[in-house]
Amino acid sequence: MPEFTVGLVGAGGISRVHAAAWRALGAKLLVTSLAGAERLAAEHGGTVAASLDDLLGQVDLVDVVTPTPTHQEIVCRALDAGRPVVCEKPLARTGADAAGLVRQAAAAGVALFPGHVVRYFPEYAAMRAAVAAGRIGRPAVLRFSRGGMFPSWAPWFSDVTESGGLLMDQMIHDLDLARWVAGEVVEVFARSHTADRDGYPMQAAHVTLTHASGALSHVQGLWGPPHLGFRTSFHVAGDDGVLSYDSAATPAVRLDLAPLPAGGEDHPETPTGESPYLTELREFADAVAGGPAPRVSAADGAVAVWLATAALESLRSGTPVRLDTTALLEEIA
Amino acid sequence: MKVALLSFAHVHATSYASLLADWPGVELLATDPDGATAPPGELRGRALADRLGVAYADSYDDALAWQPDAVIVCAENSRHRDLTVRAAAAGAHVLCEKPLATTAADAEGMIEACERAGLFLMTAYPVRFSTEFAALKSLHDGGRLGTVLSATGTNNGHIPIGDRAWFTQPELSGGGALVDHVVHVADLLDALLEQPAVEVRAVTNRILHAEKPINGVETGGLVSVTYADGTIATIDCSWSHPDSAPNWGGLTLQVVGTEGVADIDPFGTHVGGYAGGGPAWLSLGTDLDRAMLGHFLDGVRSGRAPQPDGAVGLRTLRIVLAAQESARAGTAVPIPQLTS
């Protein structure tokens, strides 16, 4: 891969994982952020740009890792500058904004990659490949679960207006996964229950998807108590077999050490092999360099936002919400 | 104690018969006159009784004329009411296979018949008797889970029609996977949460086993249940355990509270490996049927009402009926609340 420069916009939690992956891919790093750019740059051997415009003028690719409500504007400016963009999920806070970005990227002929990194976790990639190869027959009933501690370190996560909350920020991973594995979606139903313990908020939500194929998916999300380890699982049943995985049951490293005074986790450890973030960003970088299209498209990112939006609407209305992601895809494209 | 086993229709009848045949202090008589109408190839009636080595009567009337202290109703689901009412009229306590009935009116009729006769009606929910559920219940009751936010239950098994075709004949079964597999998890949640279910939304499909004689019943389903305190639950009731698997399936329950997450897998403990050219599964759990029968027989002996009773059977049946209605109508369906 020829030498290239990545502009990281944002210096929060996920920026460190991305920065390390970009460095591993041999990229030069330029960073801009409202706060923390110097530290991030120092930690990962990058330099700090004076402003977003300054950054956009110097990079080959922009990686947007800012809070959700800022995605739309920053991605829009990066596309205007003609720079390929990686944008952390969700692509935007609303389906309309996300679709607007996809159209803008297509019209400008500039690549836009949504950071649906779970498609790059080896257990999900292996399951999806097996399902696509017909190894469990026709998918019928699927379950996806994801849970960790409530993201209490940054206040915007808990503001549903800002982040979309649990459904838009965390469960969007599995909403995208369910569609990736079982196809387009025609109906969404959601239920949520919140509580707090001494002011520490928690939320559990369940979403049921009906796919155009007739398959059914259950997506379960949890922002739980502060001690909680991160855990994901899936159980995908078809008419010729079942594939299942539970990160709690399959630790690649098992420790039996004295308890550490550590808190919980908000994101998963890699089960085995290289970092899925590295796999993801390499695939994006390769695509920019003329390689094959990545496994997740900008339109996939927009549809995922629509699915989470429909789930939020179902929470509000208490009723199932009809939608047609096949038509949405055509509309966006 | 005299115990009559009424019908071999349900697959669990064989297990009950084997256990009771050797049960100290129990005299067992079985009858299965409806076995004559079962498809050829299904071992029913006197032939099965002979195989199991248990005494056999030719008719329900003969079995009830023997004046049993208790009966176990293992008939097809829609025939539970008739046998329960007849047993109550003969003065016998009733342990009835799940689901209690296929309509709320039938379940209410059964409860009323037993109540009026001063007899116990127990619903056969064996998973209640697992040590795993006891541990979960104890954690919850002790406050270790905090306030419950949500629960996810699964009851995925083989489709049972290999041994008993009536499981997918709606006039006998009352439906498919919704009828067969929602109630066990619903019962555990009933016992754990002690909250009434207030709303149900269900989706179903017929992708699994589509090539088998399923007669249009659902083979897959997801049921969302909302409880009065706001707890949300989802039950996967699908017959999705592959025919090629070495075990029958299982039941799991995950409960999420403000203090953390608890998972139970009462059928999960096993010795694994490979044997005879395929995967091996040696189950290790306690014999739940034995524990449940023991509780029922103790109740009959002691006069203490055995649990889960007919009222639980009806409450959990109402969730199934609402799920069926929801799957038909496509909307969320409220559960009628008893005012008493």
Interface predicted TM-score (ipTM) = 0.92
Q: Do A242 and A101 fall within a single domain?
A: no
The mean pLDDT value of chain A amounts to: 93
Cis peptide before B308 (omega within 30 of 0): yes
Q: Is B220 an 8 Å CB contact of chain A? A: yes
pLDDT at A166: 96
- Residue A257 counted as domain residue: yes
The distance of Cα B35 from the centroid of its chain, to the nearest Å, equals: 20
Interface test with B, best of A131, A141, A206 (most B CBs within 10 A): A141
pLDDT at A269: 64
- Residue A192 counted as domain residue: yes
| Those residues with Cβ within 8 angstroms of residue B37's Cβ, 6 or more apart along the chain or in another chain | none
Q: Is B149 an 8 Å CB contact of chain A? A: yes
Task: Report the domain count for chain A.
Answer: 2
Q: Do A42 and A111 fall within a single domain?
A: yes
Measure the CA dihedral A90/A94/A97/A102, to 10°. 40
Q: Do A260 and A132 fall within a single domain?
A: yes
Q: What is the domain-level CATH number for residue A311?
A: 3.30.360.10
Residue A93 belongs to what domain range?
A: 5-115
Which of A97, A115, A133 lies at the terminal end of a domain, its last residue? A115
Collapsing DSSP to helix, strand or coil, B92 comes out as: coil
pLDDT at A243: 97
Interior angle at CA A145, CA A247 and CA B189, nearest 5 = 110
Gap between the Cα atoms of A118 and A120, Å rounded = 5
Gap between the Cα atoms of A66 and A33, Å rounded = 8
* Cβ <8 Å between A141 and B230: no
- Structural fold of domain B2-124: Rossmann fold (3.40.50)
Q: Is B155 an 8 Å CB contact of chain A? A: no
pLDDT digits (tens, 9 = 90+) for A152-209: 888 888 888 889 999 999 999 999 999 999 999 999 999 999 998 888 999 999 999 9
**pLDDT in single tens digits along all 340 residues of chain B:** 999 999 999 999 999 999 999 999 999 999 999 999 999 999 999 999 999 999 999 999 999 999 999 999 999 999 999 999 999 999 999 999 999 999 999 999 999 999 999 999 999 999 999 999 999 999 999 999 999 999 999 999 999 998 899 999 999 999 999 999 999 999 999 999 999 999 999 999 999 999 999 999 999 999 999 999 999 999 999 999 999 999 999 999 999 999 999 999 999 999 999 998 899 999 998 899 999 999 999 999 999 999 999 999 999 999 999 999 999 999 999 997 765 4
Q: What is the 3-state secondary structure (H, E, C) of A24-72?
A: HCCCEEEEECCCCHHHHHHHHCCEECCCHHHHHCCCCEEEECCCHHHHH
List of chain A residues whose C-beta atoms are within 8 Å of the C-beta of residue B210: 239
Gap between the Cα atoms of A135 and B337, Å rounded = 45
The distance of Cα B60 from the centroid of its chain, to the nearest Å, equals: 22
| Chain A residue at shortest CA distance from B218 | A140
- Residue A59 counted as domain residue: yes
Q: Do A269 and A134 fall within a single domain?
A: yes
* Cβ <8 Å between A227 and B260: yes
Tokens of B248: 């029958």
- Residue A191 counted as domain residue: yes
Q: How far is B330 from chain A (nearest CA, A)?
A: 8
List of chain B residues whose C-beta atoms are within 8 Å of the C-beta of residue A229: none
Nearest to B50 by CA among B66, B30, B75: B30
* Cβ <8 Å between B207 and A239: yes
Token pair 């098992």 is found at A254
Q: How far is A223 from chain B (nearest CA, A)?
A: 10
Q: Do A135 and A56 fall within a single domain?
A: no
| Residue A252 backbone phi and psi in degrees, to 5 | -75, -30
- Residue A298 counted as domain residue: no
Nearest to A177 by CA among A224, A245, A127: A127
| Those residues with Cβ within 8 angstroms of residue B104's Cβ, 6 or more apart along the chain or in another chain | B314, B317, B318, B321
Nearest CB to A193 within list B221, B231, B241: B231
List of chain A residues whose C-beta atoms are within 8 Å of the C-beta of residue B241: 242
pLDDT digits (tens, 9 = 90+) for A275-329: 999 999 999 999 999 999 999 999 999 999 999 999 999 999 999 999 999 999 9
- Residue A287 counted as domain residue: no
| Those residues with Cβ within 8 angstroms of residue B303's Cβ, 6 or more apart along the chain or in another chain | none
List of chain B residues whose C-beta atoms are within 8 Å of the C-beta of residue A189: 201, 203, 224, 332
pLDDT at A156: 86
Transcribe A188-243 into DSSP letters. Answer: EEEEEEEEEETTEEEEEEEEEEEETTS-EEEEEEEEE-TTPPPEEEEEEEETTEEE
CB–CB of A165/A296 below 8 Å?
no
Gap between the Cα atoms of A318 and B331, Å rounded = 9
* Cβ <8 Å between B156 and A237: yes
Gap between the Cα atoms of A55 and A52, Å rounded = 5
Q: Do A24 and A164 fall within a single domain?
A: no
Q: Do A91 and A147 fall within a single domain?
A: no
What angle, rounded to 10 degrees, do the helices at A298-317 and A95-108 form? 170
pLDDT at B336: 79
Tokens of B186: 């619903």
Which of A86, A115, A144 lies at the terminal end of a domain, its last residue? A115
pLDDT digits (tens, 9 = 90+) for A22-39: 999 999 999 999 999 999
Q: How far is CA A157 from CA A16, A67, A315, B17, B149, in A?
A: 18, 8, 18, 58, 19
Nearest CB to B207 within list A138, A147, A187: A138
- Residue A295 counted as domain residue: no
CB–CB of A320/A188 below 8 Å?
yes
Q: Do A265 and A316 fall within a single domain?
A: yes
Q: Do A63 and A152 fall within a single domain?
A: no
Transcribe B172-190 into DSSP letters. Answer: HHSSSHHHHHHHHHHHHHH
| Chain A residue at shortest CA distance from B242 | A241
Which of A115, A130, A145 lies at the terminal end of a domain, its last residue? A115
Segment holding B116, helix H or strand E? helix B104-116
Beta strands in B175-230 (DSSP E): 197-205, 220-227
pLDDT at A295: 97
pLDDT at A270: 59
- Residue A291 counted as domain residue: no
Q: Would you tell me which CATH number, out of the four given (3.30.360.10, 3.30.365.10, 3.40.50.2300, 1.10.10.10), belongs to the domain B132-288+317-334?
A: 3.30.360.10
Q: Do A187 and A325 fall within a single domain?
A: yes
Q: Do A161 and A189 fall within a single domain?
A: yes
Q: How far is A177 from chain B (nearest CA, A)?
A: 18
Q: In chain B, where are the structural domains located?
A: 2-124, 132-288+317-334
Nearest to B340 by CA among B315, B316, B313: B315
Amino acid at A250: T
CB proximity under 8 Å: B 236-275 to A: 236, 238, 240-242, 244-245, 254, 256, 258-261, 263
Gap between the Cα atoms of B96 and B79, Å rounded = 11
Gap between the Cα atoms of A46 and A41, Å rounded = 4
Q: Do A180 and A50 fall within a single domain?
A: no
With cut-offs at 50, 70 and 90, classify the pLDDT of residue A259.
Answer: low
- Tell me whether residue B237 is exposed, middle or buried, using C-beta atoms within 10 angstroms of its C-beta: 0 to 12, 13 to 18, 19 or more: buried
